[in-house]
């Protein structure tokens, strides 16, 4: 499937989940650059630091060190530079409160990580097809 080449920001502190996500995207021929940040503070620095990044999509875990995923999402939505940035929560959390809070903070999607690798590959294919091919995103702030 043809893909746009925008950067994906993967915010994931678990090395096994990170490797699984990267492998699943590779197996689905995803050619986008994937930048990995391992805690919420690193993600915020990447997005808002001295040279702010403009990823096409953020895949955000919730249970993160330093700054949790819901706080990262809140800050993304509160800043005009990133308020329209597509954010997909990709988490193993089964807590209904996380689901509700994620949508209250305007997450674009909430996906529970499948435990089974075959299911995870299928989920990665669907994420890639929808968010990187079908979905129309607003231009980055630097182009508005």
Domain at 8-133, CATH class: alpha beta
Residue 1 confidence class, pLDDT cut points 50, 70, 90: very low
Check residue 68 and give its pLDDT.
96
3 pLDDT above the threshold of 50: no
**Cα–Cα distance measured from residue 48 to residue 102, given in angstroms and rounded to the nearest whole number:** 21
**Cα–Cα distance measured from residue 82 to residue 73, given in angstroms and rounded to the nearest whole number:** 10
2 pLDDT above the threshold of 50: no
Q: How far is CA 60 from the centre of its chain?
A: 4
Distances in Å between the Cα of 141 and the Cα atoms of 11, 60, 84, 87 are: 21, 21, 9, 16
- Beta-carbon-side half-sphere exposure of residue 57 (alpha carbons within 13 Å): 26
Check residue 4 and give its pLDDT.
43
Residue boundaries of the structural domains of the chain: 8-133
Check residue 8 and give its pLDDT.
92
With contact defined as beta carbons under 8 Å apart, do 7 and 33 qualify? yes
Of 73, 61, 81, the closest CA to residue 103 belongs to 73
At 38-92, the pLDDT tens digits run 999 999 999 999 998 889 899 999 999 999 999 999 999 999 999 999 999 998 8
Burial class (CB in 10 A: 0-12, 13-18, 19+), 97: exposed
**Cα–Cα distance measured from residue 79 to residue 141, given in angstroms and rounded to the nearest whole number:** 11
User: Which range has the worst mean pLDDT, 15-24, 101-110, 115-124?
Assistant: 115-124
Check residue 5 and give its pLDDT.
57
* pTM of the entire predicted model: 0.88
């Amino acid at each position: 499937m043809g893909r746009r080449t925008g950067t994906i920001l993967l915010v994931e502190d678990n090395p096994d989940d990170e490797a699984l996500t990267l492998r699943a995207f590779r197996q689905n021929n995803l050619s986008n650059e994937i930048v990995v940040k391992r805690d919420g503070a690193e993600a915020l620095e990447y997005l808002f630091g001295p040279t702010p990044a403009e990823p096409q999509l953020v895949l955000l875990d919730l249970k993160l060190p330093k700054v949790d995923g819901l706080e990262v999402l809140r800050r993304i939505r509160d800043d005009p530079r990133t308020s329209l940035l597509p954010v997909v929560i990709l988490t193993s959390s089964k807590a209904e409160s996380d689901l509700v809070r994620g949508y209250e903070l305007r997450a674009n999607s909430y996906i529970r990580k499948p435990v089974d690798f075959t299911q995870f590959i299928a989920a990665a294919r669907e994420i890639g097809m929808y968010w990187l091919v079908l979905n129309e995103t607003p231009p980055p702030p630097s182009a508005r």
